[in-house]
């Protein structure tokens, strides 16, 4: 790929990330903690090999928490948006890391196939001919059938770490944005008040 082509692809990817992940955070009207919990849940789910069913999983978690523990409610739209972290560009490398991590956790460090072989099998799995509803489940079942416990087990530390980091970062980010907005409004009021007294 040419330098110009790779720059366009990178710019397009950054634009998509901005519109899919950051803009929804900035537009959220709820308290920062509520929105940050949405990021946490979205990343917890995104960092599991459940491609195709990640949004329904977020919705199910939201519904269960809303009924069982309403004090820990979260922004389900934000959670669904953040599952997009695992997408067509990132899916292969992330799932391969899950597989390697799981094999290390099970003491099977040398059992991993090469990355190219892994990607070929992943592409084959994801290109199966299934309708939309059927594909939601087929992909996850196929991933489990092919790579089994190591991939799912290996995703757990990454999901926990990503969720924790995502929560802390988004909470700090939102608190900073809200503080700056409040300061800006106060400065405008002070400037207006000073103008009126002159």
- Chain segment 170-186, per-residue pLDDT in tens: 999 999 988 888 888 88
Enclosing domain of residue 17: 3-197
pLDDT at 10 over 90: no
Q: Where do the H-state alpha helices sit in 47-131?
A: 54-68, 76-82, 91-105, 115-126
Instruction: Give the pLDDT confidence score for residue 76 in this predicted structure.
Output: 93
Indicate the length of the chain as a whole number: 198
Q: Which of 13, 14, 39 is nearest to 174 (CA)?
A: 39
Q: How far apart are CA 177 and CA 188, in angstroms?
A: 17
First to last CA, the chain: 63
Instruction: Give the pLDDT confidence score for residue 187 in this predicted structure.
Output: 83
Domain count, the chain: 1
Buried b (16+ CB within 10 A) or exposed e, 64-93: ebeeeeeeeebbbbbbbbbbbbbeeeebbe
Quick: pLDDT tens for 12-26: 656 766 666 777 777
Mean pLDDT, the chain, integer: 81
Q: How far apart are CA 41 and CA 47, in angstroms?
A: 10
Quick: pLDDT tens for 44-80: 999 998 877 899 999 999 999 999 998 888 999 999 9
């Amino acid at each position: 790929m040419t330098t110009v082509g790779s720059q366009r692809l990178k710019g397009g990817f950054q634009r998509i990330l901005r519109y899919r992940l950051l803009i929804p955070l900035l537009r959220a009207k709820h308290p920062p903690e509520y929105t940050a919990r949405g990021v946490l849940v979205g990343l917890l789910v995104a960092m599991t090999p459940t491609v195709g069913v990640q949004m329904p999983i977020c919705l199910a978690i939201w519904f269960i928490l809303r009924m069982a523990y309403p004090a820990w409610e979260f922004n389900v739209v934000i959670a669904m948006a953040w599952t997009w972290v695992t997408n067509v560009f990132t899916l292969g490398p992330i799932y391969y890391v899950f597989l390697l991590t799981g094999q290390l956790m099970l003491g099977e460090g040398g059992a991993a196939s090469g990355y190219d072989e892994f990607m070929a099998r992943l592409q084959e799995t994801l290109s199966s001919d299934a309708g939309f509803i059927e594909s939601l489940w087929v992909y996850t079942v196929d991933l489990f059938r092919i790579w089994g416990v190591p991939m799912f087990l290996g995703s757990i530390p990454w999901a926990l770490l990503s969720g924790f980091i995502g929560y802390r970062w988004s909470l700090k980010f939102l608190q900073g944005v809200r503080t700056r907005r409040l300061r800006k409004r106060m400065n405008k009021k002070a400037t207006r008040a000073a103008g009126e007294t002159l």
